Amino acid sequence: MNGSLAEQLRAALNAARKERDQARTLLFSTILSDVRNREIELAKTLEDAETVEVLRRGVKRRKESVEAFTAGRRPDLADRESREVTALEAFLPPGASDDEIRTAAREAIGAGAKDLGSLMGKVMPLFKGRADGKAVGRIAREELAAAS
């Protein structure tokens, strides 16, 4: 697809409207509203990387909802949220692999990162928008334990 990520989301919204797909229409209009709110907050048009952050937050919220609905024995609502996660993830760039994160963590440890805070400070910026902080933290802890 060509154009900015926000334009791609708008095109998906228009397609969902034409197909009279209420669920997808609501999903994309909600995400575009989140994007617009972030633009107002920052007082500028978002770059694609910033739009990706908004999308990732939306995905994270929906994944948390899936867990809550599953725990609350509401599989119908959990399924709906899962479909929304899948629809939003289609707009995200490919994530970083565990191996990529592990390699960066080993390099940071080799460069002198001795504790989790300094290691995360060096590794997280490398994967901003491409990896979940929980995954980076898990791998960073594993690599620190292996190095000591």
Q: Give Cα 40 distance to the centre of its chain.
A: 21
Note the pLDDT of residue 117. Answer: 85
Tell me how many degrees the CA angle 139-89-35 measures, rounded to the nearest 5: 105
Q: Is the pLDDT of residue 1 over 50?
A: no
Specify the pTM: 0.70
Dist CA 28 CA 90 (whole Å): 12
Dist CA 18 CA 135 (whole Å): 38
Mark whether 119 and 67 lie in a shared domain: no
Mark whether 123 and 54 lie in a shared domain: no
Average pLDDT score, the chain? 88
Domain residues for the domain of 72 are: 5-89
CATH number at residue 140: 1.10.10
Mark whether 74 and 128 lie in a shared domain: no
Domain count within the chain: 2
